[in-house]
Chain A
Amino acid sequence: MQIKRIRLKNELILGRIWAIPSLRVGFIMLLALLILAVLAPAIVPYDPTVLNADILSPPSSQYLLGTDQYGRDMLSRILYGARTSLVIGFLAAGLSGVIGIAIGAASGYFGGKVDKALTFVINIFDMTPVFFLILIVIALFSSSITNVAIVIGLTTWTANARLMRAETVSLKSRIFVQAAITTGEGRWRILLRHIIPNGIYPVIINTASNISAAILTEAGLSFIHLGDANVISWGQIVADGRTQLAGGWWISTFGGLAIVITALTFFLIGDGLNRFMTPKLQK
């Protein structure tokens, strides 16, 4: 029996995406970021770890964003930093999304005791000081990129779970799902084929801001030297520049600006996606 899925008309999608300013700008910025990050090794003017002779020199035509107190070129370091942030952002938010969807869908679909128990878990988790938990785990275990991403992902799924649960509950009562149940489709099949694909949209929107949050969290961790020491990270760059505020303001400033711009990119995308999915908001 054919069960209709909710589909968006494909021809209209691209047009509508372009019509929303925040989406348009957001996607362009994301594209730029991705290109810069992926191509970083090829396009950096200097090797980011090399100690050039010009220590602490201000932005110039030779060093576009200046150099730090060890003589390392800031532009190159910041470009490399983009790789770290984006990897962690996507990994952490991705994991957080998967966990959130799983728990939220289970909670909403099975209802009853399962729902009560899982909702309790969600509420309890919401009350924990997440950043400090991440901190302790990283301090005790290792601070590699994957570790950081995993820990962030394991601790920031509650919003996604809530959203997925709400969608599941509302979808459960829809006719096409009821029809599937009546015709005896297996529970897991219903969840995977009907509920999750249709209820996933708010989670997708939330994932955009999750990516920003993950990047900001990682930056905080590397600022206090809990980040991966083997990679270049923007938080670390800002920390490097902290002692040089008077004589080398460009280090911390540009390091942090990179974070702000990246976080804003994902905020814009999230906002734009929100408007895209809720036509009422479009103005």
Chain B
Amino acid sequence: MAMGKYLAKRLLICFLAVILSVFINFVLVRVAPGDPISIMAGMDNPNPEMIEALTEKYGLDQPILTQFGIYLHNLLKGDLGYSYRSNLPVMSIIGERLGPTLLISLTSAILAAVIGVALGLRAARKRDSKFDKVFCITSYILDAMPPFWLALMLMLLFATVLGWLPTAGMVDARANYTGFARTLDILYHMILPVLCVTLLQIPTFFRIMRSSVLQALGEEYITLYRAAGMPQKTIFRKYVMKNALLPTVTMFGMTLTYSLAGVALVEIVFAWPGIGRLLLDSINGRDYSVLSGIYLMLSIAIAVITTLLDAIYAWLDPRIWLK
């Protein structure tokens, strides 16, 4: 059945994408200027014990293929390496930052999807109206904004000038709230970062939905329904929506990779304790193990989510599913 073949193909691509990231990670350390040991240790002159430990662990005195084998073996064990800067395994460092990042990413993605799709639908229905023109222009402008800049401007306006919202962090460090109060505190701190990331992602959904709806409206079955006397509202609700949402699902997957960068930058600006901050700290501290760990985790996450979305799409679109 065609669906099975389609999914198998997508899974293969997913798998290969992860392998590619693993491979890139492996290769980069070894071809970069400087020697692999210094890079992995994160300092210029590691002491002899460290050199020995690293050489042993990664098999750096062995042939390349063996090294790759060791590397893969470690990965499968869940060992992403060790951060010498903070004295903790990379896996746990990333693990504790994952939650806050997911909190922002998911919330924003859902909000942006809902708002963007609704606006896109309306804009397409009233093509060339003021509504349409205003939102098309707004969408362009938002797209042109660097994520870190929008974050700073929002912070400037709402936190610094108006003082309505906090400037940094996920919780008020001094207050030490627990339970419900803590949740509220988190939500309070979440507002600006989520607002920022949502604004950055709305244009994509808006544009795709708008063009999908316009495309669907030009199809022959619409003429048929109109000739049959079907009210415009029913045509939209029952037939246009489903036809227009499909391409939206596909495109969302493809834009995922770009939105991640934006989330990271926004997190950095708001000092949100997520992957973004970790990224910045690792770059400054030359902690390569963490950097490569982040890259790998993100690659896997994207590959998995994209493949999932592809599967959903295949299930929704009977042209793929039944052949």
Contacts and interface: CB of A to CB of B under 8 A. Distances in A.
Nearest to A252: B152
Given A137-B28, A212-B144, A224-B280, A253 B153 contact: yes
Majority DSSP secondary structure for residues of A touching B:
helix
Interface in A151-185: none
A257 to B, nearest CB: 8
B212 interface: no
A264 B144 contact: yes
Give chain B's interface residue range (CB within 8 Å of chain A). Answer: 35 or more
A139 interface: yes
Contact of B295 (A123, A124, A133, A253): A133
A132 B160 contact: no
Contact of A259 (B20, B32, B146, B260): B146
B306 interface: yes
B47 to A, nearest CB: 22
A150 to B, nearest CB: 15
Contact of B32 (A120, A141, A241, A267): A141
Q: How large is the interface on A (under 10, 10 to 19, 20 to 34, 35 or more residues)?
A: 35 or more
A270 to B, nearest CB: 10
Contacts of B312: none
Interface in A237-276: 238, 241-242, 245-246, 249, 252-253, 255-256, 259-261, 263-264, 267-268, 271
A141 B29 CA distance: 10
Contacts of B295: 129, 132-133, 136
Interface stretch (B90-98, B181-189, B296-304): B296-304
Interface of B: 13-14, 16-17, 20-21, 24, 28-29, 32-34, 39, 128, 140-141, 143-149, 152-153, 155-156, 160, 254, 257-258, 260-261, 264-265, 268-269, 279-280, 283-284, 286, 288, 291-292, 294-295, 298-299, 302-303, 306
Given A128-B21, A140-B288, 15 more contacts: A124-B16, A127-B302, A127-B306, A129-B260, A133-B295, A139-B286, A139-B291, A224-B265, A226-B283, A249-B156, A260-B141, A263-B143, A264-B141, A264-B144, A267-B144
